[in-house]
Amino acid sequence: MTTEPTESAELDPRIVHAQEAYTPRNLQIYDKLVIGLFCSLVWRCPARHMRRLYNASVGNRHLDIGPGTGYFVDHCRFPTPNPEITLLDLNEECLRASSERLARYNPKTCQANLMNPLPLPAGHFDSAAMSLVFHTIPGGWEKKGVILKHVAEVLRPGGTFFGTTVLCEGVPMNRLTAHLMVAQHERGNFQNQGDDQAGLERQLARYFPKYRVLMRGTVALFQATAG
């Protein structure tokens, strides 16, 4: 089943621009370049930490937000052999690439803008993940924090929201990291100016009764429990 985008508020042009980077050609090299090279050498959070977070957090009815190529779901150990997976993204190419990679699970897809309420059943999912997504969304934590509200609404009580994001403030950066952070801002691929750990924790506390944030290099790994 595929859910089409809903009519709602206009997309921020900065979000549209960031989405343009996910072309079929770029998706072909995404795993090696972004997850393999950048995460390890630039943001200093090797993919094994993110895979460990998936394995510790994922449930049988899982919503993957911004699945990219489907790398993390593909490498995840689900609690049951036949999980129910829904892939949500604004970008059709990401939905196509990830759903093809995960075809063995027969995933559902949903094209939607995270800044609006999600067109999904309330209280349905055991888990929801957002890996390497928040830093591509503009507006600072006070604005994009509403995404956490929308995710909390589709999780069952006790369900788990987890993921990762590259922070820009209050994190240690070497020369390479600082240089490439600026380059990502100039290209419009990153919109995380001002994003810090305290702001993320403030928004998690607003919508989830229990949460934790662990830092690895410039990457925040978060896990929260729905009320």
Span 26-55, pLDDT tens digits: 999 999 999 999 999 999 999 999 999 999
Which residues make Cβ contacts (< 8 Å) with residue 88, sequence separation at least 6? 63, 64, 65, 66, 67, 109, 110, 111, 112, 118, 120
Ordered by start, the domain boundaries in the chain are 11-225
pLDDT number for residue 102 = 98
Whether the Cβ atoms of residue 107 and residue 76 lie closer than 8 Å to each other = no
Partnered with residue 84 across adjacent β-strands are 61
Calculate the alpha carbon distances from 178 to 42, 88, 150, 181, 191 in Å: 9, 31, 32, 5, 15
How confident is the model at residue 1, as a pLDDT?
Answer: 46
168 close to 227: Cβ distance less than 8 angstroms:
no
- Name the region of 154 (left: φ>0; alpha: ψ -120 to 50; beta: rest): alpha
Q: Which residues contact 120 (CB under 8 A, 6 or more apart)?
A: 3, 63, 86, 88, 110, 154
- pLDDT at res. 115: 95
In the numeric block, the tokens 């949460």 are attached to: 211
What pLDDT, on the 0 to 100 scale, is given for residue 9?
Answer: 52
Return the CATH number of the domain spanning residue range 11-225. 3.40.50.150
Q: What is the mean pLDDT of each run of 10 residues along the chain (227 residues)?
A: 48 79 92 97 98 98 98 97 97 97 98 96 98 96 97 98 98 97 95 97 98 98 98
